[in-house]
């Protein structure tokens, strides 16, 4: 399945490059000829219209439930291809100074960027789709055991605090329900991998660093139930 998505994406990009090359050659022919400027501008506007995009703005309710404000823009790339760009962050909910009154020993402060290329079985923004995504971000985690961390077999994470960054990728599948001309609902589930690089601190409320390390996450990388508004 993953090989098919990558192959479709390769063929799609190759076709767009060929079209762009044809457009460039045509522009050169017109610009070098003695045609009127009106013909040149008409052709230019026609080319831009051919590459116009349909854009959707989205909010993931699952992410909201985890106290992480988020926003996503999804752009159409063709009849059956779109690019989704999800961004979420919640670091402003947490106090970073351990001596402050509002400091919480249990925290999951982070930001995340997760672009995803999607292939639609029927047509874009309607029905089933398959996705291939990448992700990256930063985190400041303390007082919790993050599931699916391969090195956390003995549940030791809860007693420490970790600061660092992560990156990885995965695959997903989902379904898009059209509610009206402008509004839609979408559900998706993805699995994948993330590698984490971190500084480890002795306790959840202190700044004494005990070392550095790495960890590997293997599990769900995308869970979404999104409200969607089609911009155009």
pTM of the prediction?
A: 0.72
- Greater pLDDT, 54 or 38: 54
Rounded mean pLDDT, 137-162: 86
**pLDDT tens digit sequence for 87-130:** 999 876 666 666 666 666 777 889 999 999 999 999 999 999 99
Tell me whether strands 55-60 and 209-230 are parallel, antiparallel or unpaired.
Answer: antiparallel
C-alpha count within 13 angstroms, C-beta hemisphere, residue 170? 21
Q: Where are the domains of the chain?
A: 1-52, 53-230
CATH of domain 53-230: 2.40.160.20
- Greater pLDDT, 73 or 204: 73
CA angle at residue 185 from 180 to 189, to 5 degrees? 155
pLDDT value of position 12 = 46
- pLDDT score of 33 more than 80: no
Do 54 and 76 touch, CB atoms closer than 8 A? yes
């Amino acid at each position: 399945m993953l090989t098919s998505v990558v192959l479709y994406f390769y063929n799609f990009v190759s076709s767009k490059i060929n079209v762009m090359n044809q457009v460039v050659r045509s522009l050169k022919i017109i610009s070098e000829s003695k045609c009127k400027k009106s013909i040149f501008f008409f052709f230019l506007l026609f080319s831009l219209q051919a590459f116009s995009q349909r854009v959707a703005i989205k909010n993931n309710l699952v992410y909201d439930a985890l106290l992480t404000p988020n926003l996503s823009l999804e752009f159409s790339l063709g009849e059956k291809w779109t690019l989704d760009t999800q961004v979420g962050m919640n670091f402003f909910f947490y106090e970073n100074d351990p001596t402050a009154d509002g400091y919480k020993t249990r925290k999951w402060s982070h930001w995340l960027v997760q672009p995803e290329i999607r292939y639609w079985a029927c047509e874009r923004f309607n029905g089933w789709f398959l996705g291939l995504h990448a992700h990256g971000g930063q985190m400041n985690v303390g007082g919790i055991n993050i599931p699916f961390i391969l090195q956390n077999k003995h549940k030791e994470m809860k007693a420490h605090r970790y600061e660092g960054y992560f990156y990885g990728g995965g695959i997903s599948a989902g379904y898009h329900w059209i509610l009206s001309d402008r509004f839609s609902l979408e559900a998706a589930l993805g699995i994948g991998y993330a590698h984490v690089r971190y500084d480890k601190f002795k306790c959840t409320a202190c700044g004494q660093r005990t070392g550095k390390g790495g960890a590997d996450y293997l599990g769900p990388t995308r869970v979404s139930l999104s409200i969607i508004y089609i911009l155009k």
